[in-house]
């Protein structure tokens, strides 16, 4: 088999690249190990806790024991299905803050400042959030909507933010991220709108794009040039040739693993596994970042939470309503309000995010024993801790070793303490008085630094936003893996196009910037001039140096 381009991974960025390359008349083969995204559990937004806990759709990865979290192994859900993690995620749509991308640019990713990436966010969006906006896109492949927010707890959350002195933002994905407002979601007409729905399926309907199911074993490199991919398909090893380039879009976990299996990575580590070193790039697998969060849970005085559906008749009603009408609680991810705040004066843009949910429940589907309750997921946005992905064995079927090193920087602890205290203050506002029965967790007795630290150590969970493991930078940067056009430094005709290339994690959830990377890299791959930059200024609190809100 042969095509102009071979893309490994049908995830968020890979689907976008496949669509844009095939649209331009190039032949594309997409290699994906996972299968179909058919079925109610994966398509119903309200059932979001199911697919990320199902072996059919998830790789089932775990971290190594985390020393600063009491030796706990944290789950690392990654999509093993067309659409990748956009098919199993919470469908939350956050572009990131303008300053995130300016930081990328300033760290050596030339051409990736906010002015440069904004046109690509606009190109990919079909935004249904309000009146036309010069910074929002309409008519693009990706539907972006807002939930109904008809549960009274959403209004209480927004009003509590206002009462606490924070701004209200009409559009956190526009120029004013800071504050409290309506959350956006990749849901369309009551169904999950994944990258597979937005990009891959339209591409496959055309004449230039083919999907091949198989496990990528390694990239074939001949005389310094990537020429194809070796895959395991049905128990047989096959080769798929790329006439132009090989593009890795296999996730921030599996992309570095595949590079290392192909002889591209830290030389001594590769040699320890008996692998020949084709390109000694110490940055492969390093710079691993994630968002860590806690669930701040409150028992509700009133039976208005989604817990009323947390029984067999309730779930049957929600499921039937969704199946027949695509409406009701099953038609939304129910993460319908959001907050972005700054933790302290002197922080120029938000470094804490809230996801508000009108039920007290974990991502694994376990509800609080209390019954009716609600929660805010809260955590710092820009942890200084860094981890790594390494090979556990030279076997392509073996899971890699994933070490996040969560909470390994002292600033992380101080930031979490602030986040928890600010959250407690938020739930103490007048707007929540009719609803707050008691604090389930952390618990009102958890007040000292030591108590809060112990709570974080025992209860913090990943927000499932791993990134950064083949970071983008200047070709002269010894720790950069790809240049600003996604080309792997030291190997010709090989690119990386996924969240691996992020120099630093962005504010909020990563699906939107992952797709944006696919959109922008497609133009680089095609040799097209990038879209003209849009020089607009984001809102920054006028007194951020002296005021926390």
Break the chain down into helix, strand, coil percent, rounded to 5: 30, 25, 45
409 is catalytic: no
Cis peptide before 442 (omega within 30 of 0): yes
Tokens of 404: 């996040």
- Identify the active-site residue in 154, 465, 524, 541: 465
Q: Do the beta carbons of residue 431 and residue 163 sit within 8 Å?
A: yes
Spatial separation of the C-alpha atoms in residues 320 and 302, rounded to whole Å: 26
Return the residue matching tokens 């952390």: 442
Token pair 């950064």 in the structure block, residue: 468
Dist CA 112 CA 115 (whole Å): 8
Residues 252 and 467: beta-carbon distance below 8 Å: yes
Rounded distance between C-alpha atoms, residue 308 and residue 219, angstroms: 51
C-alpha–C-alpha distance, residues 348 and 211, integer Å = 45
* CA-angle at 99, arms to 98 and 103, nearest 5°: 125
DSSP 385-446: --BEEE-SSS-TTSPPEEE--TT-SHHHHHHHHHHHHHHHHHHTSGGGTTTEEEEEES-TT-
Among left, alpha and beta (phi > 0; psi -120 to 50; other), residue 262 is: alpha
Q: Which two three-digit tokens encode residue 9?
A: 């991974």
**Catalytic residue ranges:** 465
């Amino acid at each position: 088999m042969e095509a102009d381009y071979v893309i490994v991974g049908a995830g968020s960025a890979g689907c976008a690249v496949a669509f844009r390359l095939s649209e331009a008349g190039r032949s594309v083969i997409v290699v994906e190990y996972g299968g179909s995204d058919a079925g109610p559990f994966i398509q119903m937004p309200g059932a979001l806790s199911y697919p990320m806990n199902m072996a059919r759709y998830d790789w089932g990865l775990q971290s190594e024991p985390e020393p600063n979290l009491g030796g706990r192994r944290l789950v690392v859900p990654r999509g093993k299905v067309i659409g990748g993690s956009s098919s199993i995620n919470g469908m939350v749509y956050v572009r990131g803050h303008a300053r995130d991308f300016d930081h990328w640019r300033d760290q050596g990713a030339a051409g990736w400042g906010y002015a440069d990436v904004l046109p690509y966010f606009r190109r990919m969006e079909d935004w249904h959030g309000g009146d036309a906006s010069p910074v929002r896109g309409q008519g693009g492949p990706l539907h972006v909507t807002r939930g109904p927010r008809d549960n009274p707890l959403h209004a209480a959350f927004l009003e509590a933010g206002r009462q606490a002195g924070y701004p209200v933002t009409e559009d956190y994905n526009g120029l004013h991220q800071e504050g409290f407002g309506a959350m956006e979601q990749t849901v369309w007409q009551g169904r999950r709108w994944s990258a597979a729905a937005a990009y891959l399926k339209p591409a496959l309907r055309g004449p230039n794009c083919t999907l091949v199911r198989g496990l990528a074993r390694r990239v074939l490199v001949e005389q310094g040039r990537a020429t194809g991919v070796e895959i395991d398909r049905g128990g047989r090893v096959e080769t798929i040739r790329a006439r132009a380039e090989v593009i890795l879009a296999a996730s921030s976990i599996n992309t570095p693993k595949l590079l290392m299996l192909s002889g591209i990575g830290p030389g001594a580590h590769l040699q320890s596994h008996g692998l020949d070193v084709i390109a000694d790039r110490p940055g492969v697998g390093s710079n691993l970042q994630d968002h860590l969060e806690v669930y701040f849970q409150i028992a509700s005085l009133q039976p208005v939470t989604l817990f009323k559906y947390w029984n067999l008749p309730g779930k049957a009603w929600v499921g039937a309503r969704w199946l027949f009408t695509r409406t009701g609680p099953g038609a939304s991810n129910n993460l319908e309000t959001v907050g972005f705040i700054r933790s302290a004066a002197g922080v120029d843009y938000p470094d804490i995010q809230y996801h508000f949910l009108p039920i007290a429940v974990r991502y694994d589907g376990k509800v609080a024993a209390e019954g009716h309750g609600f929660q805010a997921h809260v955590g710092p946005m820009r942890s200084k801790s860094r981890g790594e992905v390494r090979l556990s064995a030279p076997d392509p079927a073996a899971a890699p070793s994933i070490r996040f090193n969560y909470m390994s920087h002292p600033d992380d602890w101080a930031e979490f303490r602030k986040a928890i205290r600010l959250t407690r203050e938020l739930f103490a506002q007048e707007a929540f008085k009719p609803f707050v029965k008691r604090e389930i967790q952390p618990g009102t007795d958890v007040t000292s630094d030591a108590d809060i630290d112990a709570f974080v150590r025992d209860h913090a969970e990943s927000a499932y936003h791993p990134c950064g493991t083949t970071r983008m930078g200047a070709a002269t940067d010894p720790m950069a893996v790809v240049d600003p056009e996604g080309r792997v430094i030291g190997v010709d005709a090989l690119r990386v196009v996924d969240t691996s290339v992020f120099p630093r994690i962005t504010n909020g959830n990563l699906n939107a910037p992952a797709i944006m990377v696919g959109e922008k890299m497609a133009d680089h791959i095609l040799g097209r001039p990038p879209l003209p930059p849009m020089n607009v200024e984001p809102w920054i609190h006028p007194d951020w140096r002296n005021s926390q809100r």
